[in-house]
Structure 1
Amino acid sequence: MVEELAQADAAIAACATAATWALPEHELVAALDAAHRLEQRLAAVKLALVRELDGRGTARAQGASSTAVWLRERLHLTVPAARRLVDLATALDNSNPEVRQALADARITLDQARVIADTVTTVHNAAGPEAADKAVTVLVGWAGQFDPTLLRKLGTRILDHVAPDIADAAARAALEAEAARATRDRHLTLSELTDGRLRLTGTLDTETAGLLRAAIDPLTAPTGPDDQRSPGQRRHDALADLCRLTLRTNELPHHGGDPAQIVVTTSYDNLAGQLSAGTAGTRVQLSAGTLDTSLQLRAGNPDTGLQLRAGLPDTSLQLGAGTLDTGLQLTPETVRRLACDATILPAVLGGTGQPLDIGRQRRLITGPLRRALVLRDRGCAFPGCDRPPRWCDAHHIHHWANGGTTSLANAVLLCGHHHRHIHHSDWTVHLASDGHPEFTPPAWLDPEQLPRRNHYHPRT
Structure 2
Amino acid sequence: MAVVDTVLTDVAKSGPHSDTAQAVHHYLDRLDEDWPEPDPTEGRRLVLARHADGSITGRFDLDAVGGEKLQTALESLLQAGRCAGDDRTRAQQPADALVQLADNALAAGGLPTLRGHKPQVIVKIDLDDLAAPGTGRGTAEMGFGATISAARARWLACDGAVTRIVLGPDGMPLDHGRTLRLFPPHVRRAAEVRDGGCVFAGCAAPTWWCDVHHLLAWIDGGATDLANAALLCERHHTQVHHGFRVEGQPDGRWRTWRPDGTEIHTGPRRTGPPRTRPPLVTAA
What is the TM-score with the length of structure 1 in the denominator? 0.52
Counterparts of 1:376 and 1:329 in 2: how far apart (Å)? 36
2:95 counterpart residue number: 236
Deviation at 1:349, TM superposition (A): 2.3
Match of 2:27, as an amino acid? G
Deviation at 1:379, TM superposition (A): 0.5
Write out per-residue CA displacement over residues 338-377 of structure 1, whole angstroms, 9 at most, x where no aligned residue: 1101222223322223222222233221311111111111
Which of 183, 187, 190 in structure 1 is aligned with 2:45? 187
Which of 132, 146, 164 in structure 2 is aligned with 1:346? 164
Counterparts of 1:244 and 1:231 in 2: how far apart (Å)? 20
Counterparts of 1:243 and 1:457 in 2: how far apart (Å)? 29
Contact 2:212/2:229 (<8 A) preserved: yes
Aligned CA RMSD, in angstroms, stands at 2.8
Change (3 A) 1:453 1:260: farther
Counterparts of 2:247 and 2:267 in 1: how far apart (Å)? 11
Find out whether 1:406 has 2:242 as its counterpart.
no
Which of 186, 203, 228 in structure 2 is aligned with 1:368? 186
Match of 1:184, as an amino acid? E
Contact 1:373/1:411 (<8 A) preserved: yes
Deviation at 1:334, TM superposition (A): 1.6
Query: The residue matched to 1:269 in structure 2 has which SS?
Result: helix
Deviation at 1:153, TM superposition (A): 3.6
2:17 counterpart residue number: none
Query: The residue matched to 1:188 in structure 2 has which SS?
Result: strand
Find out whether 1:432 has 2:228 as its counterpart.
no
2:278 counterpart residue number: none
Change (3 A) 1:212 1:366: farther
Which of 239, 245, 270 in structure 2 is aligned with 1:456? 270
Change (3 A) 1:184 1:441: closer
Which of 36, 43, 54 in structure 2 is aligned with 1:196? 54
Match of 2:245, as an amino acid? T
Deviation at 1:319, TM superposition (A): 4.5
Query: The residue matched to 2:232 in structure 1 has which SS?
Result: strand
Find out whether 1:151 has 2:16 as its counterpart.
no
Find out whether 1:441 has 2:248 as its counterpart.
no
Counterparts of 1:419 and 1:450 in 2: how far apart (Å)? 16
Gaps of 5+ in 1: 1-135, 160-169, 276-317
Deviation at 1:430, TM superposition (A): 3.2
Identity %: 31
Taking the TM superposition and a 5 Å limit, the aligned residue runs for 1:29-44 are none
Query: The residue matched to 1:190 in structure 2 has which SS?
Result: strand
Contact 2:216/2:222 (<8 A) preserved: yes
Deviation at 1:201, TM superposition (A): 0.7
Which of 257, 265, 288 in structure 1 is aligned with 2:124? 265
Change (3 A) 1:410 1:142: same
Deviation at 1:264, TM superposition (A): 1.0
Query: The residue matched to 2:122 in structure 1 has which SS?
Result: strand
Counterparts of 1:355 and 1:455 in 2: how far apart (Å)? 49
Deviation at 1:247, TM superposition (A): 0.6
Which of 70, 85, 90 in structure 2 is aligned with 1:226? 85
Counterparts of 1:274 and 1:360 in 2: how far apart (Å)? 25
What is the TM-score with the length of structure 2 in the denominator? 0.82
Which of 255, 277, 296 in structure 1 is aligned with 2:114? 255
Counterparts of 1:423 and 1:247 in 2: how far apart (Å)? 21
Deviation at 1:241, TM superposition (A): 0.3
| Structure with bigger RCO (C-alpha 8 Å, 6+ apart) | 2
Deviation at 1:194, TM superposition (A): 3.0
Deviation at 1:182, TM superposition (A): 4.0
Counterparts of 1:192 and 1:235 in 2: how far apart (Å)? 20
Change (3 A) 1:428 1:137: closer
Taking the TM superposition and a 5 Å limit, the aligned residue runs for 1:113-124 are none
Contact 1:380/1:388 (<8 A) preserved: yes
2:16 counterpart residue number: none
Deviation at 1:138, TM superposition (A): 3.9
Deviation at 1:216, TM superposition (A): 0.3
Counterparts of 2:179 and 2:26 in 1: how far apart (Å)? 62
Q: Which has the larger radius of gyration?
A: 1
Contact 2:44/2:60 (<8 A) preserved: yes
Counterparts of 2:46 and 2:168 in 1: how far apart (Å)? 42
1:82 counterpart residue number: none
Gaps of 5+ in 2: 13-19, 275-284
Whose helix fraction is larger, Structure 1's or Structure 2's?
1
